[in-house]
Amino acid sequence: MTATPRTTLGKVRAHQTQNEGLIFEKSSPGKRAYKLPPLDVPDVDPAALLGGAYRPEPGQLPEVSEIEVIRHFTRLSTWNYAIDLGMYPLGSCTMKYNPRVNEFVSRIEGLAEAHPYRPESLAQGSLEIVELLQRCLIEITGMDAITLQPAAGAHGEFTGILLVRAYHQSRGNPRKKVLIPDSAHGTNPATAAICGYEVQNIKSNPEGGIDVAELERIVDEDTAALMLTNPSTIGVFESEIHRIADILHAKGALLYMDGANMNALVGKTRPGDFGVDVMHLNLHKTFSTPHGGGGPGSGPVACKAILEPFLPTPVLVRKPAPATTTPTTTTPGAPGPSHLGTGETTQLGWSFDRPQTVGRVRAFYGNYGMFIRALAYILANGPDGLRQTTEDAVLNANYIRAGLQDLYELPYKTASMHEVVFSDKRQAARGIKTGDIAKRLIDYGFHPYTVSFPMIVSGALMIEPTESESLEELDLFIAAMRSIAAEVESNPDLVKSAPHSTRVSRLDEVTAARKPILRWKPTA
Ligand SMILES: *Cc1c(COP(=O)(O)O)cnc(C)c1O
């Protein structure tokens, strides 16, 4: 295989747009992006109207024309890598393609412009979307109840462990500690700590799973829960999961599953069926809603019936429909009202009557626009399509594993699920680290994989292609990684000093984080 770096395009782009300066540098006094007609009403004095709230000096904003604004921000946008540009193999993050049908549906006027304070009787269509998504996610996870409120995975963890705490508290004792494997995502121990628990680490076994004998030894009446990622961050399915659940339940402890890796399970197996009591989903990972800057995220929490009384309020319920709510007019394009007044005796609505609730965790009902996108994705694929998605994600990860394992060290030989974790052991012997290889990958037109995580692998290269990638794209990626492995042998300095195709090469990441320069000062 020969690598075909996409640098030709990259270089042209670099030439045209990579030297874009600050928008303040383009500013010249009096320039405007618009022109308004002269006032045809009496002028007012804003200072008199607004009093102390009026700022006499205008803020120091750049003064530019419309095309300057457009070009500036469009050029900046080309500095970013995106899933719409190419493969984004950032392990653990499931950077899959966001299908345009999701965007289309979420922009339908009646959905996009529905107001959260609209009376329930006029919001039945919007609420049906919430209800149907909840039913789909409950079916997919095999759980009994769900809240869609949390705004991200970490927020879901927080909500889930609050449920655990409220459950134990209701039985007289919140308990003291939460067990977390050494391979866990950093948000897991952070969540446990912020919910008032001590974190106790559990070592992984040589297959990358939980050391069950060790677990059996340390679970006691002070254990509130185990937080387990399955498949683990090594990309390995926890085959002892039933026994793990039994060990916990025997001591009255609960099993929390970090569901960030559900892209390996959807349609194949259900956490509710293998003993999980509570879990979160990342709609922005598994269910194809936009990720990171394209967010916001959404981290629903699904649980078993024993935890349901503690769910955040409000909870979606069916209530008797008040006789007086039949609307006489309907808003064009607004979902819902059309079927009211046809003798329906119940309607969907929010219930706050939950004496044991942990309380609200998010304004309104969560990031509603993400619910529409996730539901569109689920319905567009259907059960068979979702299962196929899972199989393709696992197949793609294993294709990359097979294509690279002769050149990169594979610390865990256990079967890979949706991601594969190599280490830089062989390259490090020549002074090249995982971070160097990742930077060089940028020159080949790919977003880097996840670097140095999980922590139980020294010099980790964590690669998650997702089901989105075609065979051609996977081959291109493998070719790039193989080419870099060859460069490590023949020209290590080239790798060590990468990237060479970007606006700036290596940033001082520590100083950038510790001493950020956030304010532009005009030079006289
Ligand atoms: C992404 C991730 C999280 C956190 O989810 P966010 O939505 O980023 O808050 C937690 N655990 C694992 C294993 C993850 O991959």
Same domain, 47 and 147: no
pLDDT tens across 139-183, in order?
999 999 999 999 999 999 999 999 999 999 999 999 999 999 999
Distance of alpha carbon 486 from alpha carbon 328, whole angstroms: 73
Q: Which one of 187, 261, 301, 449 would you pick to mutate in the ligand 1 pocket, going by the greatest count of ligand atoms within 8 A of its CB?
A: 187
Q: Do 162 and 235 share a structural domain?
A: yes
Q: Hey, what are 245's tokens? A: 């659940």
Cα–Cα distance measured from residue 84 to residue 96, given in angstroms and rounded to the nearest whole number = 10
Same domain for 147 and 283, yes or no, is yes
Question: What is the predicted pLDDT for the residue at 295?
Answer: 67
Q: In this structure, which residue's CA is closest to atom 8 in ligand 1?
A: 153
Stated pTM of the model? 0.88
Token match 């609050």: residue? 162
Ligand 1 pocket check: which of 258, 291, 455 to mutate, most ligand atoms within 8 Å of Cβ?
258
Residues 6+ apart with CB under 8 A from 326: 121, 340, 341
Does 342 reside within a domain? no
Q: Does one domain contain both 480 and 406?
A: yes
In a domain, 44, yes or no: yes
Query: Are 416 and 493 members of one domain?
Result: yes
pLDDT for 9 equals: 46
Question: SS3 for 318?
Answer: strand
Residue 522 confidence class, pLDDT cut points 50, 70, 90: low
Q: Are residues 295 and 149 in the same domain?
A: yes
Q: What is the per-residue pLDDT across 205-243, written as a single tens digit (0 to 9) for each? A: 988 899 999 999 999 999 999 999 999 999 999 999 999
For residue 94, the ligand 1 atom closest to its alpha carbon is 15
CATH number of the domain within which 452 lies: 3.90.1150.10
Query: For residue range 340-381, what is the model confidence (pLDDT) as tens digits?
Result: 445 568 999 999 999 999 999 999 999 999 999 999 999 999
Report if residue 338 sits inside a domain.
no
Query: In this structure, which residue's CA is closest to atom 3 in ligand 1?
Result: 153
Residues 523 and 509 in one domain: yes
In a domain, 347, yes or no: no
Q: Are residues 282 and 400 in the same domain?
A: no
What is the torsion angle, in degrees rounded to the nearest 10, for the CA atoms of residue 253, residue 258, residue 264 and residue 266?
80
* Domain that residue 465 falls in: 1-20+90-97+391-524
Asked if 156 and 264 sit in the same domain, the reply is: yes
Token duo for residue 87: 């493969």
Which residue's alpha carbon is nearest to atom 11 within ligand 1? 185
Same domain, 202 and 245: yes
Residues 271 and 296 in one domain: yes
User: Is the backbone of residue 177 left (phi > 0), alpha (psi -120 to 50) or beta?
Assistant: beta
Which residues approach ligand 1 with their CB closer than 6 A?
A: 92-93, 152-154, 185, 187, 229, 233, 258, 260, 282, 297, 299
Q: How many residues make up the chain in this entry? A: 524
Query: How much of the chain is helix, strand and coil, in % rounded to 5?
Result: 40, 10, 45
Question: Can you give the CATH number for the domain in which 264 is found?
Answer: 3.40.640.10
Residue at 154 is within a domain = yes
- What is the domain count for the chain? 3
Do residues 163 and 193 both lie within one domain?
yes
Indicate whether 444 belongs to any domain: yes
pLDDT digits (tens, 9 = 90+) for 70-87: 999 998 888 888 898 899
Residue where a domain stops, chosen among 35, 51, 78 = 78
Ligand 1 nearest-atom number relative to CA 229: 13
148 within some domain: yes
